[in-house]
Amino acid sequence: MSFFGKIKQGLGIGTAKVELDVPPFFKKDGENITGKATITAKSPQKVKSVTVRMYETYTTGRGEDKKVKEYKLGEVVLFEKSPFDLSEAEVKEVEFSLPFSMKLSSSQALAQKDGVLGALGKAAVFASSEKSDFRVNVTVDLEGVALDPTDSKTIRPE
């Protein structure tokens, strides 16, 4: 491999592409999300692992009082103990099941109750401008590459 080729490989240019396929909705009381990652090699590569994670971005407040926190709700690492090779233009589909567990704020938990308590919880969520966004992210760890290919999809609770 030429010097320029080694630099491109190290930066992840022309190495591989990954595309994530997950349902647009998930059940909050569900236990896992199933999906597929499609890896397309642009040159010969060794895949060390495939990591799939689910995140929640939790936002409260408005304007200067706005606070954003990110929580990892689940993670699964595939092929960590059994890396594999891809030849140029080879496509590999990797199916996965991602276990996750929801984290609720006290007002969100209260909002899920029935009756007066549920109404109070919903009012508290509204008053504090609580908002949660969810996404699933996949990263393919390639040998000798500093910037590994990734893809991310936003999903919503049903």
Query: Which residue is it, tokens 């597929």?
Result: 36
Architecture field, domain 17-142: Sandwich (2.60)
Catalogue the E-assigned strands of the chain.
16-21, 25-26, 32-41, 45-60, 67-78, 84-86, 91-99, 131-142, 150-157
What gap in Å lies between CA 27 and CA 32, rounded to an integer? 9
The string of pLDDT tens digits covering residues 2-32 is 554 555 555 545 689 999 999 999 988 778 9
CB atoms within 10 A of CB 34: 12
The answer to whether residues 149 and 15 touch, using CB atoms and an 8 Å cutoff, is yes
Burial of 134 (0-12, 13-18, 19+ CB in 10 A): buried
The string of pLDDT tens digits covering residues 68-96 is 889 899 999 999 999 999 999 999 999 99
Q: What is the pTM of this model?
A: 0.78
